[in-house]
């Protein structure tokens, strides 16, 4: 019984030690001895170079190093060599330290010390043996107490009582260690997550969502009838890391280091979640009816003819890597940006919400081509559309019974009339909101970067390009933000200030 308890205690103690070490490593949030981590985050070749530089800098600019026995002030270059390894006698070795008085240990002194220790051990053994022989010669004719009685074996009642006490102590020790293992396991799981998903500030910074309530509401909405293929990390962390990639534009390798998994796992998680988010978040980009728009019309749009505006449109571009195909390179090159880009059309309601999003086009496509092919005109019902001067094809909208409002131009005129200046100025104040809406979409930093080709083109089994899914998801998430057009007038804002 004692043996089994002892083995159980040893096993639990080993597990506690392992979990404690892992907890310390997780609390440090980075393994500075991992060459891949050091190279990715610092650019240095290995952790040896990192610690060598660290030692060199601290040796030069900090106080002398305190050893365990006494304070020793090393010269900077000697301290650096000592930190990298042991001194070498080979002049070609980097650890070689020249000396006029080289130290050579004498092997005979070690042998003398060993012989003396053997003699002392034999003397102690002989003394103990003599004492045991004297005790054996003593004739014990009676048992002093009941506890010294034998019970049919060589074990006395006292021995049995001692073993029972020992068993009890081992049981208590096992319970304590099991409780400690359970606590450390829970703490390890929490540390591996490396984030408090209930902290509103953390959620807002890393995902762009307003609060943890919104985060968990979206998570529940997505996972009600769907579950991810990958089991680790947990489902909440998978959703969190996908939003982190969209919001901060982190690479797969960075996320792999943060969440303790491989780059292939991160890629699988990202595309699986992006697919389901693109499917379920289409409802967040809603084309409202004319009655709904008039019911929620901001003060800025209540004067005619702006009270009949159905949407405000504009195009935007995102940089991409240069394709290897010459035809794709020509289709995506933008003369306006002098770079390879993809281009998309955005439409917002007068309240500032994104209500229309086209698919992406090559940067060479014109605003007119994208607008005609986007299907926007089929949603309009004799309404007014507001745009900038780049959409100078009102005849296309007029053929569908739609009026296009663009700022007045001085083409063919010496100057604008006073009414044209006033209307254009008022239109500029309203049209700026579509640029702000595009800015909210590009607050997701993955769209600010130069996208690699694998995030632009369509994957083999997909029907929609990856960049289109990212645009849809980022637009839908930006609609959850409450930074839309305020219903206050400029006078109201001044009074509140």
**What is the pLDDT, as a whole number, of residue 136?**
52
pLDDT at 461 over 60: yes
Question: Which domain range does residue 360 map to?
Answer: 288-496
Q: Are residues 279 and 292 in the same domain?
A: no
Task: State the average pLDDT over residues 309-315.
Answer: 90
The percentage of residues in the chain with a pLDDT greater than 90, rounded to a whole number, is 28
Domain boundary (68, 84, 100) is at 84
Q: Does the pLDDT of residue 179 top 90, yes or no? A: no
- Which of the two residues, 82 and 58, has the higher pLDDT score? 58
Work out the end-to-end distance of the chain between its first and last CA atoms, rounded to an integer number of angstroms: 79
Last residue of a domain, one of 262, 283, 304: 283
Are both 279 and 332 inside the same structural domain?
no
Do 240 and 357 reside in the same domain of the chain?
Answer: no
pLDDT for residue 192 is more than 70: no
Residue 465 shares a structural domain with residue 353: yes
Q: Are residue 225 and residue 372 in the same domain, yes or no?
A: no
Of 69, 84, 99, the residue at which a domain comes to its end is 84
Looking at the structure, do residues 326 and 277 belong to the same domain, yes or no? Answer: no
Q: Among the listed ranges 103-117, 278-292, 338-352, which one has the minimum average pLDDT value? A: 103-117
What is the 3-state secondary structure of the chain?
CHHHHHHHHHHHHHHHHHHHHHHHHHHHCCCCCCHHHHHHHHCCCCHHHHHHHHHHHHHHHCCCCECCCCECCCCHHHHHHHHHCCCECCCCCCCECCCCCCCCCCHHHHHHHHHHHHHHHHHHHHHHHHHHHHHHHCCCCCCCCHHHCECCCCCEHHHHHHHHHHHHHHHHHHHHHHHHHHHHHHHHHHHHHCCCCCCHHHHHHHHCCCCHHHHHHHHHHHHCCCCCCCCCCCHHHHHHHHHHHHHHCCCHHHHHHHHCCCHHHHHHHHHHHHHHHHHHHHHHCCCCCHHHHHHCCCHHHCCCCHHHEEEEEEEEEEEECCCCCHHHHHHHEECCCCEEEEEEEEEECCCCCEEEECCCEECCCCHHHHHHHHCHHHHCCCCEEECCCCCCCHHHHHHCCCEEECCCCCCCCCCCCHHHHHHHHHHHHHHHHHHHHHHHHCCCHHHCCCECHHHCCCCCCCCCCHHHHHHHHHHHHHHCCCCCCCCCCHHHHHHHC
254 plus 308 within the same structural domain: no
pLDDT digits (tens, 9 = 90+) for 390-410: 888 888 888 888 888 887 666
Whether the full predicted model's pTM is greater than 0.85, yes or no, is no
Q: Are residues 363 and 478 located together in one domain of the fold?
A: yes
Task: Indicate the pLDDT class of residue 334, thresholds 50, 70 and 90.
Answer: very high
pLDDT tens, 128-157? 666 655 555 544 444 445 445 554 556 677
How many whole angstroms separate alpha carbon 387 and alpha carbon 315? Answer: 10
- Same domain for 482 and 342: yes
Give the pLDDT confidence score for residue 134 in this predicted structure. 57
Instruction: Give the model's confidence band at 191: pLDDT under 50 very low, under 70 low, under 90 confident, else very high.
Output: low
Judge whether 406 lies within some domain.
Answer: yes
The more confident residue out of 27 and 124 is: 124
Does residue 307 sit in the same domain as residue 266?
no
Domain count, the chain: 3
pLDDT surpassing 70 at residue 187 = no
């Amino acid at each position: 019984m004692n043996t089994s308890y002892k083995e159980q205690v040893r096993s639990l103690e080993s597990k506690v030690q392992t979990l404690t070490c892992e907890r310390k490593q997780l609390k440090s949030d980075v393994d500075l001895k991992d060459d891949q981590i050091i190279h990715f985050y610092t650019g240095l070749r290995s952790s040896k170079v990192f610690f060598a530089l660290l030692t060199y800098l601290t040796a030069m600019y900090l106080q002398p190093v305190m050893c365990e026995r006494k304070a020793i002030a090393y010269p900077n270059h000697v301290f650096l060599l000592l930190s990298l390894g042991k001194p070498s006698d080979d002049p070609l070795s980097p650890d070689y330290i020249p000396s006029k008085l080289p130290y050579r240990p004498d092997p005979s002194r070690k042998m003398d010390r060993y012989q003396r220790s053997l003699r002392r051990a034999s003397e102690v053994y002989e003394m103990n043996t003599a004492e045991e022989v004297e005790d054996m010669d003593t004739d014990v004719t009676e048992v002093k107490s009941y506890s010294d009685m034998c019970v049919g074996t060589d074990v006395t009642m006292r021995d049995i009582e001692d073993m029972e006490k020992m068993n009890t102590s081992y049981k208590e020790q096992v319970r304590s260690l099991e409780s400690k293992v359970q606590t450390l396991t829970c703490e390890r799981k929490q540390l591996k997550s490396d984030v408090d998903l209930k902290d509103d500030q953390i959620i807002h910074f890393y995902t762009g969502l307003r609060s943890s309530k919104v985060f968990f509401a979206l998570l529940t909405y997505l996972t009600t009838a769907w579950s991810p293929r990958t089991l680790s990390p947990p489902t909440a962390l998978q959703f969190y890391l996908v939003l982190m990639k969209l919001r901060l534009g982190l690479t797969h390798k960075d996320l792999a280091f943060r969440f303790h998994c491989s780059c292939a796992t991160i890629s699988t998680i990202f595309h699986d979640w992006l697919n389901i988010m693109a499917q379920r978040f289409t409802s967040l980009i809603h084309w409202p009816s004319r009655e709904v728009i008039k019911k929620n019309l901001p003060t800025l749009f209540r004067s005619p003819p702006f009270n009949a505006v159905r949407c405000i449109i504009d195009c935007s571009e995102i940089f991409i890597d240069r394709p290897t195909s010459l035809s794709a390179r020509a289709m995506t090159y933008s003369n306006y940006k002098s770079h390879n880009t993809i281009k998309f059309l955005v439409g917002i309601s007068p309240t500032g919400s994104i209500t229309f999003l086209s698919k992406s086009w090559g940067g060479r496509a014109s605003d007119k081509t994208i607008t005609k092919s986007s299907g926007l005109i089929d949603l309009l019902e004799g309404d007014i559309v507001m745009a900038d001067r780049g959409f100078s094809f009102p005849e296309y909208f007029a053929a569908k019974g739609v009026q296009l409002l663009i700022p007045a131009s001085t083409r063919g005129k010496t100057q604008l009339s006073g009414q044209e200046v006033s209307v254009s100025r008022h239109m500029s104040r309203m049209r700026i909101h579509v640029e702000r809406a595009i800015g909210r979409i590009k607050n997701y930093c993955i769209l600010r970067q130069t996208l690699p080709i694998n995030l632009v083109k369509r994957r083999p089994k997909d029907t929609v390009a990856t960049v289109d899914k990212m645009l849809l998801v980022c637009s839908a998430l930006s609609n959850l933000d409450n930074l839309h057009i305020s219903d206050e007038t400029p006078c109201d804002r001044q009074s509140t200030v």
